[in-house]
Structure 1
């Protein structure tokens, strides 16, 4: 059979065996009902104020707290006005300001991992004009560099033996907030969660422990699997970071 599927910014054709299983997002397994646009801020704020397994931001932060907000780069899409980063970061800032956190004590970090460092235009597109102007010109938006050893903290290894190095600004902060999204993804089951910190704000040596053929080319890798070796490594690295930091993301 001949199949056309998304590739980069366009489409690519492929001839596949007739026995091939075709999975179409949103069709093969229908998506759940979406939140109406006029309810997005309300529902996002409700989630922020009622986190699972930990106190809300208004109890974790206070005047004098150093806060980092870590958000994915443009590879993860989400440039529309209702994108989760644009909505959630604005609401998170409101919550932080309400308990006395000062703007000068907040740093936004684009979690590039080993992707190219984000450009000024990409940051503007990701965050929107309001957030961009609030933090860009005061040098409070930076891109993580997974080859910059000097701005990382070496946390040793997981019990499995995977090296764990992480962004020093995140390690030194009082509150570290990861802005992710949960979306089906063959690279470790789903995007977000510990996948974010174990790839986006770490060193190339950590990334080399999971983004390699011997981990990715396994029977437990695809289809979307939340218990693959790759996902397990993400979780172990992220939890090791939290243990060493003495705080949870």
Structure 2
């Protein structure tokens, strides 16, 4: 049985701890008494992935077996998550490819010949053909892509959406191919934080991934105020998910992965520091110095090439709500760590791997999202830091942006944000501008850029987490870039603790969320 996560209290014998910081990592000594939250070891994988997939499809939750729901003459659509999940990418073959091939085999046996595949990228960037092939496998790609039957979802193509109902928030418009299908098979990868949003068809499911841009904005809220109340945002997603569920039959397949984020030369980063062997310490020193002094482009290519060692611990299929509930419980079973009480200060490291920075750049906004919304907000119940407490995060916050993937991020960071901005005050105006800008929409539709409103939605999530905190300080960050986002910067951890001392006291309780692998905190 895998070792569960636990909380270590730093004492005189505790070695320096690895803290990710952008394309590299630091070895930091923490003050005595600091609580260090370690995730559990990876859970044992399923013995045979093929058998696990077959069992899930043939004995699903609250649904007839998939084969019984397939028939000749029907229209079948298979949608699957994009490459924002998991990060780093899993080893080949991707579990989505295995699941999709199993679904197609059953469809062929049932005589289904009207089949299309859609990458459920929502407002994320369109994937390149090579990226699509990596997710669905060479055989599926070769069979469907050339005939335009394997495509990215286009949330801005008004002619390719169908109104399927309405909620109090407005009309719900769904991808036309999906709306006109007799069955939608949705292939989802369950890892935190996307598995923590609840069992609805909300933010992590078809409600956001396969609808028109205007419907997504209903979930996020035109003013952003709904994100102040997390339940409010999820409720909108559930309502829209319910409309989708009434409009089209959905059969969901979830692959639940373990938390083995590191392989090869970096595998020691997934182990507890006092268990590092001599060769691990040598590798840590060489790798840290090599990354520190390497030119930006080679360093970034090296980190982009890192792959996770993820293995599948469960495959669940059937009715979406039942599947999401079970997948969420399985994710929490391996990654939830109980913590006794909140702290004055939380410390997190921001690694190179980011859902919105795959084969790209982790710009300052994405780094802030990773720290506040991706790591600190990955909890059940109360957050690990008390209300009015402080967050100390590690990342250089360099003003690096991808001109191909992140054009709207450049303008949002440079024009919408200023050091004295109220995080909420800028949102309504910014969303209207970036959501309706024709150039951003053109780049999203014809190139590989994130939708124009993408940075605004990430800022909603950052601002919602920021509202809970009294102070946010970045260690090793560009001071001007930190201040532009309303944060402060420090050179060292000791300096950061001195800075937050004025608001939380000079002898604060400190909790370091040691990740990745991801930690889901459960404060009791």
TM-score bracket, shorter-length normalisation: 0.7 to 0.9
With 204-213 and 234-243 compared, the bigger mean Cα shift is at 204-213
Pick the aligned partner of 1:175 from 170, 179, 183. Answer: 183
Structure with more contact order per residue of length (Cα contacts < 8 Å, sep ≥ 6)? 2
What TM-score do you get using the length of structure 1 for normalisation?
0.79
Return the offset for 1:58. Answer: 1.3
Pick the aligned partner of 1:232 from 232, 235, 247. Answer: 235
Distance 1:125 1:58, change over 3 A: same
Query: Greater Rg, structure 1 or structure 2?
Result: 2
- Aligned partners of 1:181 and 1:192 also within 8 Å: no
Give the aligned partner of residue 244 of structure 2: 241
| RMSD (CA atoms) | 3.0
- Aligned partners of 1:69 and 1:107 also within 8 Å: yes
Counterpart CA distance in 2 for 1:122 and 1:164 is 29
Counterpart CA distance in 2 for 1:237 and 1:137 is 33
Return the offset for 1:216. Answer: 3.1
| 5+ long unaligned stretches in structure 2 | 1-16, 252-524
Q: Check if 1:130 corresponds to 2:139.
A: yes
Give the aligned partner of residue 86 of structure 1: 97
Counterpart CA distance in 1 for 2:35 and 2:220 is 25
- Aligned partners of 2:67 and 2:110 also within 8 Å: yes
- Aligned partners of 2:219 and 2:236 also within 8 Å: yes
Number of aligned residue pairs:
228
Pick the aligned partner of 1:4 from 2, 5, 19. Answer: 19
- Aligned partners of 1:166 and 1:241 also within 8 Å: yes
What TM-score do you get using the length of structure 2 for normalisation?
0.39
Give the aligned partner of residue 33 of structure 1: 44
Pairing 1:85-164 to 2, within 5 Å after superposition:
85-102=96-113, 105-158=114-167, 160-164=168-172
- Aligned partners of 2:158 and 2:212 also within 8 Å: yes
Give the aligned partner of residue 205 of structure 1: 214
Distance 1:86 1:161, change over 3 A: same
Distance 1:243 1:193, change over 3 A: closer
Pick the aligned partner of 1:185 from 185, 190, 193. Answer: 193
Q: Deviations over 1:40-69 (max 9, x none)?
A: 111111001111111122111111111100
Return the offset for 1:210. Answer: 2.6
Distance 1:216 1:119, change over 3 A: same
